[in-house]
Every structure is written in C-alpha cells, then in structure tokens.
Structure 1
Amino acid sequence: MTQPTPSGSVPSPTGSPASPSPSPVELAPVSYEGQFSIDERTKDLDLDPPARAPARNGGDLLWDENLGLRATDGVKIGLWRDREQPTYEQCSVAARAAALTRAELDEGHVACVRTNGGGVARLRVTSVEDRSYSFTATIWRMRED
C-alpha cells in the first residue's frame, strides 16, 4: 500500500509526488461577476459584461411574458435548490442534467445556465419586475488553451 507523502499527495509510480488536481477556478476562470437585468431582448452571457445580442448571434436568454426566463438556441437552464451557492462544476452539472429551455423564477431563486458559447452562469434573482429579471451573476468561461 502506498503511503501519502507529508504534503498529502500520493507518490506516483516513479516515486515523485503526483500533481494535485486543478481547482475549478483553474478549469474555468470567472469572466464576469456583478449585476445585470434580462428583459424582452436577448442577452449574451458570453460577453463581458453580458449585453444584448440577437439569438442568431450568440444571445442566450430573454424574459418572456408567458414563459419567464427563456433560453435560446441550445442554451440549457437548471434550477439550484440547495441553500449553498453552487460552484462552477455543480452549476454546469445542474444545467446539463435539467436541460430546461424555460423557467419561472422568483426573488432568491438560483438558475444555472450553460450558454451557447460554452460558458456556465450562476444567476441569483435579486428582483422580478413587470417585464424583466435582475440578477447577481457569476459567469465562468471555459479556458481556451
């Protein structure tokens, strides 16, 4: 049986310590943290900061009178129900697993979104207005090597 080294890593077969796994921050750096709103015009979450863009040109989400938060072309939404804020990995898994294209949200709800540009967003609803949602957001972008 291999014994851990003092640093806590297990030696590789060659005898040198194995490299630690990269942290989620290293895998997907935060590209945007802050507040923004979504209304009837499509917003692209892959832009920094998120900005209006037509669905055919990268737009991800919009507010819909009948559907609430609505995803466009290939975007996936998942709802996070735990009290703790989800990490990048948790949000990514929640969005892929649920794969919703719409969600009715209330203040305090957290939505996880997989954008059409490969990013992952954690959106906490701070207010629901007549024709829009306001969020506090963390958006991660996949690192391009």
Structure 2
Amino acid sequence: MIGVSESARALASTPGFAEWSFPAEPGAVRAARALVRDTLEEWGLGSVTDVTVLLVSELVTNSLRYASGPIGVRMYSHAGPTLLVEVSDPLPDPPTERVAHPDDEGGRGLQLVACASRRWGTRRGNTGKTVWFELSLPG
C-alpha cells in the first residue's frame, strides 16, 4: 500500500489504535480510505465506517491540496463511547471553514466534518497541525 510502512501496519493491529503515514501524492486519499475501512470493519465498527471513510477522505484531500509533506491518520476507539480520528500534516495554518455557494465545486469539506461529527477541532503541533473529529459509537 502506498506510503504505509511495516511498523504502521503493526500499529494498525493494536486493538483500538491505528496510525498511518502517507506521502503527499494523489494515491494517499485512496490508500487512507481503504485502510480506515478495513480497520473499522476489523474492529467491528461497521456502523460508523461509511461516515468515517467520508470524513477522512475530505481531510486527507485538504491536506493533499495545501500541504507538501507527509499526511498522518490516526484512529482511537478505546477512549469511551467515541471514535477519535486525527489527520495531520506539516502545514501549521489551521483550515478555514467557509460557506460554499451552490455552484462552488469545493469548500464543503469542513462543513461536512462539522455536521457529521459529534465534535471536531484543530490543534497545532511542533511540526504542523492536526484536524480531529469524534464520532459517537453505538451501544
């Protein structure tokens, strides 16, 4: 799989935690979707798979569009009744939520994240930023 190291594959098998790094190349979005989908199915979280894959796809696409370095994706499911998903890149500037007009081809990704998630936000790190969201888990 593009940009996924053997150590990242090993972490992905840790119950409740998965982490991957992708190069800022067009195949990153497809690879992230596949790994997120497979991991959530493995964890028995099929009920949130489609929405998680959609939101990860939007955030990885944003990173790919604006950042030039590696894109990281992390998922945690062991922190209570929520799934926490993080997408990181080396660009320090937080994304800007904007209002898309009906004819605009873009500008809806963060609106989608805000509407579909329980909570979401951004934080700066030493080498860039992380955009995160939480989804409520059933049960």
TM-score (norm 2): 0.28
> Larger RCO: Structure 1 or Structure 2 (Cα < 8 Å, ≥ 6 residues apart)?
1
Q: Which has the larger radius of gyration?
A: 1
TM-score (norm 1): 0.28
Say which structure is richer in strand.
1
Say which structure is richer in helix.
2
